[in-house]
Chains A and B, each alone.
Chain A
Amino acid sequence: MFVTAETAVAERPAVQVASASRRRGSRLPSLNLLAATLVSAAVLYAALFPVGPLPALGPAFNPITGAWTMAADAQVTDRTFRLAGLQQPVKVLLEQDGTAHLTAQTDHDLFLATGYVHAKFRLFQMDLMRRQGEGRLSQIVGKAALDSDRFELQLGLLRTAEAEWNALAADDEAHAALLAYAQGVNDRIAEAESMHQLDAMFTLLGYQPRPWSPIDSLVVKGDMTQTLNFTDTPLVMALLNKSLGADLASEWFPILPPNAQSPYDLGPYSNRSLAPIEAPGLVSDAEAASANALLDRLEALPPGLIAKGGASNNWAVGGAKSSSGGALLAGDPHLHLTLPAIWFQLTMDSPRYHAAGVSIPGTPVVLIGHNEHIAWSLTDAQNQQTFFYQEHEDSTHSGQYLWNGTWRRYQTVNYDVPVAGGPTQHLAVKLSVHGPVISERGQTTSVWWAGNVPSQDLRVLLDIDRSRSWQEFRDALRGWYSPTHNFVYADERGNIGLISAGYYPQVAKGRPWLPMPGTGEYDIIGTIPFDDIPQAYNPPANVIWSANQRQVTKDYPYYIGTASNFFNPGYRANEIHRVLSQPGKLSASDMQALQTDTRDYLASEIVPVLLKSLSSEHLNATEASAVALLNDWDFRMETGSVAASVWWYFWGWYLTETFNPWWKSRAVKVGMGEVWDALGQDLEMWTLADPNNRAFSAPGIGSRTAGDALRKSFRQLIADLVKMLGPNLRSWTYGRVHKRTLENLADVAGLNYGPRADRGDANTPLAAGGYPSTEGPSWRMVVDWGSHTFQSIYPGGQSENPASGWYTNHVDTWWAGRLNPMLSADQASTAAGVRAWSMRP
């Protein structure tokens, strides 16, 4: 009950009261006003200003312009509207599932409309991506993002993007495309602000997006390069070298993979200008301490900033091996699976462009897809593109480093980093000739990263979108530097090809898989000539494939990285090769089936050896049941399989049983998980071909063989699984222990999809490593040029708005392994439920 002035004074009849009562009464109105003022001020303050993690509540929950508008934004209807900057009318069709079809009468309008459509459905995602690369996340989320911002500004995506933009001639088509695209994005920002349709996250975080610029698009491209390609492996290798010793480190982490893999480029190779590779040597204490400090810093960064391995598939089948008579192409790049997805599906038609596929919001091109003549997809090539240099400094040359015999002053770039809810931070980034200094703890370490070499990748992609032949496709890729990708190709004439385009840095001398002295002798001196990089065209077997495996055989004359930096162990590639190489012809449905293949190649090698090692053992009932299930298993990681669960855990137990004693006795500071794949390749080969390897006889373990370790691991595993999953072995289904989650990009757990039981593992073509698995096939595409059919799917939906029906509408189809037809704009115009936008100048 509120006490008001009226209740105290005004409404009462005039009566004589005692003087004491009068004094109290005379104070009541003032106290009431004071209370009302304080409470009003508190309410208004909370309504007008952010308090702690809360946004300003008034604008945030304003029923008309606040977060509730996401309901209206989720409605997509037929529209006719003006768009500033258009030269001619543009037509946009939106299929029932949100797939966009843009038809423009000029190339300029096509890119402008693409910018508008991207921003209409993905503006917050685009803003987050540019902020991440430009070191501006703290400005909206506060000091929690300060480490990430500092790192990004040191690494230099923004500097590289600015250099790329400045290097683009005004008459370059990429220049025009980026400008038009930015205008389209800004048209949408202006429209959204005027119609109060900005994504709810802007409202809740309490900021307005600043205008989009071409540099923002180049930064978004840089984000992807970093995610796929910036590695800390040399630091890891330095610590392993120091703790395990040079001999064990070189034996366990060799340059060439120890296991049998399936390279696609079998040679012969030309042999030009070889760079010498030094024999392994021991890392010094100072080098190790410096690497350790830097690694600690990198490990503390948010996931996704450092490339931790890759997993993608693509392959092609020549017309001669295809049941339709035309070339087949399949591609499924594996990335962090997010909501919204990294991809936006569209077709882009203008006088010179007819491309269909997926684009990255923030960039104006189709990255993976097809045009009227060719189809292409890509996987990460995994070669080493990150090199660390330890600069030589001394106290008599402050602010300088020794390079090629002379002392040089570091170049310095200064940044102000705005922080929400705190003071702006200042950051001075030092640059040596090698690149940015990213650590000054211990020895000063700078990094040479191919992603910092300005490159005109956008122009390359525009050329690819217009290519009509392998020659044009390959020529376009001459300008592609980073990240190195395996570009697979198939065309309407039945041709197939694969080329691992990008920079393959070569050092003058030294051990590039470790941090190197920055004194000049170990610098990058060039890259492998384009004609010598891994590639193949119309191979005799009529099949070609990549799955992040090393692309070439041991005879390849150039250094491209070590087995642990970070080529895939090759199990997916081996399985894909196995299926594609079987006799008979292949169809588009075979491609689709292979994309969702759950056969674990490593299991197919190891499980028979395990079973043999147990054949004469006395087993308890549970162990015997597990053995029986493994005996009948087809090595497929399906959700209902108990054997899959046993294998899934067994491999980890076996690795731990073998290597953990070494890790303990040598006090290795690198987690085994960091080098799991590399150790796995060793263990695979020792189990199959070298069961007496000294690795099984770790210090304190005594002499033993692979068989001893297999048996001990198996018995321990079964005992542990009984404790973890219960005594009923039949209930140990794989779906119970292996789940997949699609994570909300803004890290809002309640907007995730899953966790949901799912099949596959890190070794299967249907990639699903980790627990819960958060990475996997981010896009699946199957092209059959014989029947001219194009199919695809990606997990997610076209809209970032969680209130939209297009937020997760593709997920179930993707989960089931099905594909949707990729319609052309003409086909879409007659499809049911299509919505049309007419944009006018």
Chain B
Amino acid sequence: MRLYLFLLVAGIVAIAGVLVGLWWAPFVVGLALGIVVRRGRIGVPIGAAIGLLAWLAPLAIAHESHGLGLTATSLAAIMGFDHQPAVPLALTLLLGTLLGLTGAWLGASSRGVVTSVRSGT
């Protein structure tokens, strides 16, 4: 139960961080997640999911209030992907995901090293 609560708080903190402009929040939250959660097989994917959600939520809100279609099309054009608005969207979400994932992975692997040293293996 405590794990779920922790994950919920982590998700909220990451989303709130991004909402106030801290794009790197998923990385920091992921890092904490990786350190705290013992099971890396769970922590790392959850870190990635939190990164995805943290970057997706503001975009979803913006899309709801302004519509992002023209913006995505324009960004695609600027990036050289004419008429492929999915490209900037995918790139943006990929970046958020990677930030959460790498943060969690780094945290989990750090924890692993510490544990390994302590156990003397």
Chain A residues proximal to chain B, CB less than 8 Å: 2, 4-11, 22, 25-26, 29-30, 32-33, 35-37, 39-40, 43-44, 47, 57-59, 61-68, 70-72, 74-75, 196, 200-201, 204, 748-751, 802-804
26 contacts between A and B (CB under 8 A): A4-B41, A4-B105, A5-B109, A6-B108, A6-B112, A10-B38, A10-B116, A11-B38, A11-B39, A44-B27, A44-B102, A58-B99, A61-B91, A61-B92, A62-B18, A63-B92, A64-B18, A64-B23, A64-B58, A65-B23, A68-B71, A70-B74, A74-B66, A74-B70, A200-B75, A803-B71
Is A36 in contact with B40, judged by CB distance below 8 angstroms?
A: no
CA distance A803 to B62 in the complex (A): 13
- Of B67, B105, B112, which one neighbours A9 at CB under 8 angstroms? B112
Kindly count the residue-residue contacts between A and B in the assembled complex, taking CB atoms under 8 Å apart: 181
Is B62 in contact with A68, judged by CB distance below 8 angstroms?
A: yes
Closest CB-CB distance, B55 to chain A, in whole Å? 5
The listed residue with most B CB atoms (<10 A of its CB), out of A10, A204, A748, A749, is A10
- In the complex, what residues of B have CB within 8 A of residue A44's CB? 24, 27, 102
Is A61 in contact with B58, judged by CB distance below 8 angstroms?
A: no
Closest CB-CB distance, A411 to chain B, in whole Å? 43
CA distance A264 to B44 in the complex (A): 79
- Assuming the contacts A43-B102, A68-B68, A750-B78, asked whether A36 and B109 have C-beta atoms less than 8 A apart, the reply is yes
Is A71 in contact with B55, judged by CB distance below 8 angstroms?
A: no
CA distance A629 to B98 in the complex (A): 65
Q: Which residue of B lies closest to A744 (CB)?
A: B77
CA distance A26 to B40 in the complex (A): 17
- In the complex, what residues of B have CB within 8 A of residue A750's CB? 76-78, 80-83
- In the complex, what residues of A have CB within 8 A of residue B49's CB? none
- In the complex, what residues of A have CB within 8 A of residue B7's CB? none
What are the 10 tightest A-B residue pairs by CB atom distance, in nearest-first order?
A5-B112, A750-B77, A4-B40, A63-B58, A802-B74, A62-B23, A750-B82, A40-B102, A33-B109, A36-B109
- In the complex, what residues of B have CB within 8 A of residue A11's CB? 38-39
Within 8 A of A (CB), among B80-102: 80-83, 88, 91-92, 95-96, 98-99, 102
Chain B residues proximal to chain A, CB less than 8 Å: 18-21, 23-24, 27, 38-41, 43-44, 55, 58-59, 62-63, 65-68, 70-71, 73-78, 80-83, 88, 91-92, 95-96, 98-99, 102-103, 105-106, 108-113, 115-116, 119, 121
- Assuming the contacts A5-B108, A71-B68, A750-B80, asked whether A43 and B40 have C-beta atoms less than 8 A apart, the reply is no
Is A40 in contact with B105, judged by CB distance below 8 angstroms?
A: yes
- Of B41, B75, B96, B103, which one neighbours A7 at CB under 8 angstroms? B41
CA distance A9 to B68 in the complex (A): 46
Is A36 in contact with B106, judged by CB distance below 8 angstroms?
A: yes
CA distance A490 to B80 in the complex (A): 47
- In the complex, what residues of B have CB within 8 A of residue A64's CB? 18-21, 23, 58
Q: Is the interface of B mostly helix, strand, loop or mixed?
A: helix
- In the complex, what residues of A have CB within 8 A of residue B20's CB? 64
- In the complex, what residues of B have CB within 8 A of residue A803's CB? 70-71, 73-74
Is A72 in contact with B66, judged by CB distance below 8 angstroms?
A: yes
CA distance A169 to B29 in the complex (A): 59
Is A71 in contact with B18, judged by CB distance below 8 angstroms?
A: no
CA distance A64 to B58 in the complex (A): 7
CA distance A802 to B75 in the complex (A): 9
Is B99 in contact with A5, judged by CB distance below 8 angstroms?
A: no
Is B106 in contact with A40, judged by CB distance below 8 angstroms?
A: yes
Is A2 in contact with B40, judged by CB distance below 8 angstroms?
A: yes
Closest CB-CB distance, A828 to chain B, in whole Å? 25
- In the complex, what residues of B have CB within 8 A of residue A70's CB? 71, 74-75
CA distance A10 to B35 in the complex (A): 13
- In the complex, what residues of B have CB within 8 A of residue A204's CB? 78
CA distance A58 to B91 in the complex (A): 11
Closest CB-CB distance, A462 to chain B, in whole Å? 37
- In the complex, what residues of B have CB within 8 A of residue A33's CB? 106, 109-110, 112-113
Is B38 in contact with A6, judged by CB distance below 8 angstroms?
A: yes
CA distance A71 to B68 in the complex (A): 6
Q: Which residue of A lies closest to B38 (CB)?
A: A6
Q: Which residue of A lies closest to B112 (CB)?
A: A5
Is B108 in contact with A71, judged by CB distance below 8 angstroms?
A: no
- In the complex, what residues of B have CB within 8 A of residue A200's CB? 74-75, 78
- Assuming the contacts A11-B39, A68-B59, asked whether A196 and B21 have C-beta atoms less than 8 A apart, the reply is yes
CA distance A44 to B76 in the complex (A): 23
Is A32 in contact with B109, judged by CB distance below 8 angstroms?
A: yes
- In the complex, what residues of A have CB within 8 A of residue B68's CB? 68, 71
- In the complex, what residues of A have CB within 8 A of residue B109's CB? 4-5, 29, 32-33, 35-37
CA distance A132 to B87 in the complex (A): 31
Q: Which residue of B lies closest to A9 (CB)?
A: B116
The listed residue with most A CB atoms (<10 A of its CB), out of B18, B19, B21, is B21
Closest CB-CB distance, A814 to chain B, in whole Å? 21
Q: Which residue of B lies closest to A14 (CB)?
A: B119
Is A63 in contact with B62, judged by CB distance below 8 angstroms?
A: yes
Q: Which residue of B lies closest to A72 (CB)?
A: B66
- In the complex, what residues of B have CB within 8 A of residue A9's CB? 112, 115-116, 119, 121
- In the complex, what residues of B have CB within 8 A of residue A35's CB? 109
Closest CB-CB distance, A502 to chain B, in whole Å? 39
- Assuming the contacts A6-B38, A6-B40, A47-B95, asked whether A63 and B112 have C-beta atoms less than 8 A apart, the reply is no
Is B38 in contact with A58, judged by CB distance below 8 angstroms?
A: no
Is A32 in contact with B112, judged by CB distance below 8 angstroms?
A: yes
The listed residue with most B CB atoms (<10 A of its CB), out of A33, A748, A749, is A33
Is A58 in contact with B95, judged by CB distance below 8 angstroms?
A: yes
- In the complex, what residues of A have CB within 8 A of residue B111's CB? 5-6, 10
